């Protein structure tokens, strides 16, 4: 990692909410969002997270912590030597089985195909188990 000389540069990491809040305010709890920037670890919150970095190239890694397991991993290297502020977007995946996205533009949440597969397979497996049980008990 190279670090140049000069003044610090503001970097903002904008975190999309992991889940849409239900209308009654109850429901799934947000998963903790963690970041590693260079050798420093920090927790991020939903919304804008301002961080000041000295000039240089900085690897930024972000993930969700799901029962102690890193999920929704995403990473990028930013160059703060030009001295301009940087805005990054972290988009959480739809499932814990997909990668997140960290980039300079907001994107659609990844994992829609995985979520559709889960919603299709679970009922089919239940139906198959019921049919097998019925056939065995005849």
Q: Which of 21-25, 40-44, 84-88 has the lowest mean pLDDT?
A: 21-25
Whether residue 27 has pLDDT greater than 80: no
Distant-in-sequence contacts of 103-107, Cβ < 8 A, 24+ apart: 103/76, 106/14, 106/16
Helix (H) or strand (E) holding 10: strand 9-15
How large is the average pLDDT for residues 106-125? 74
Task: Round to whole Å and give the CA distance between 75 and 57.
Answer: 13
Higher-scoring residue by pLDDT: 123, 51: 51
How large is the average pLDDT for residues 7-30? 72
Q: How far is CA 59 from CA 15, 31, 74, 83, in A?
A: 17, 23, 11, 17
Question: How confident is the model over 56-112, as pLDDT tens digits?
Answer: 999 999 998 878 888 889 999 999 998 899 999 998 887 777 889 899 998 887 766
Q: What is the pTM of this model?
A: 0.69
Six-digit token string for 89 = 């977007």
**What pLDDT sits at residue 82?**
85
- Cβ contact 17:30 at 8 Å: yes
How large is the average pLDDT for residues 5-28? 72
Half-sphere exposure at residue 93, Cβ-oriented, CA atoms within 13 angstroms: 23
Mean pLDDT of the chain: 83
Task: Round to whole Å and give the CA distance between 18 and 92.
Answer: 6
**What pLDDT sits at residue 18?**
67
Whether residue 46 has pLDDT greater than 60: yes
Task: Round to whole Å and give the CA distance between 20 and 58.
Answer: 31
Domains annotated for the chain, with CATH where assigned, are 9-110 (2.60.40)
Sheet holding 47-53, edge to edge: 47-53, 9-15, 86-91, 101-103
């Amino acid at each position: 990692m190279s670090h140049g000389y000069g003044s610090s540069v503001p970097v903002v990491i904008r975190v999309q909410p992991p889940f849409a809040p239900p209308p009654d305010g109850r429901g799934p709890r947000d998963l903790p969002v963690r970041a590693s920037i260079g050798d420093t670890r920090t927790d991020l919150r939903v919304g804008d997270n301002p961080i000041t970095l000295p000039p240089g190239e900085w690897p930024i890694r972000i993930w969700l912590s799901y029962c102690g397991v890193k999920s929704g991993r995403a990473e990028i290297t930013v160059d703060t030597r030009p001295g301009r502020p940087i805005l990054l977007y972290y988009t959480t995946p739809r499932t814990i089985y997909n990668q997140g996205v960290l980039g300079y533009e907001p994107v659609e949440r990844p994992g829609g195909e995985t979520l559709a597969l889960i919603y299709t397979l679970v009922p089919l497996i239940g139906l198959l188990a019921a049919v097998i049980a019925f056939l065995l008990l005849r």
